[in-house]
Amino acid sequence: MALPALLGMGALISFFTRVVEWFVTRIASRFTSRLAGILVWTTLYITLLIALASTFALIINGISASLPSELAAGMGAVKPDNLEACIAAIYSSKVAMWVFQQKKQLIDWEQGRPVL
C-alpha cells in the first residue's frame, strides 16, 4: 500500500516543480525583455545625441571654412573655442526634454491617466 502512495508523491512533486518553473520563467522573460528594450532605446538615444552634437560642430566648422578670410578671422577673434560644443549641448538638451516629455505622455496613456 505504501508504494502507490510514493509513486503519486513523485508525480505531485513533478507537477508543482513544473508550475514553479513556468512561473519563474515567465517573470524572468518579462523582466529581461523589458530590460533589453530599455537598454536598446537608451543606446539609440545616446547615439543620436552624439550624432547631433557632432553634426552641429561640423556645420559650424564648415560655415567658418567657407567664409572669406577676413570675415573668418574676425569671427575667430570673437567666437569662443567651445562654441560648437555649447550649441550642441543646448540643442541636445532641448531634444532630450522633448523625448522625456513624449515618454511621460506614453506612460500616462498606458496607465489610463489623462494626457495633457
Q: What does the pLDDT look like over 79-92, one tens digit per residue?
A: 888 877 787 788 77
Looking at residue 2, what is its pLDDT? 54
pLDDT digits (tens, 9 = 90+) for 9-58: 777 788 888 888 988 888 878 777 777 777 787 788 778 877 877 887 78
Which residues fall within 8 angstroms of residue 105, CB to CB, at 6 or more apart? 115
Return the domain boundaries, the chain: 13-79, 81-115
pTM (2 d.p.): 0.47
Other residues' Cβ atoms within 10 Å of the Cβ of residue 72: 15
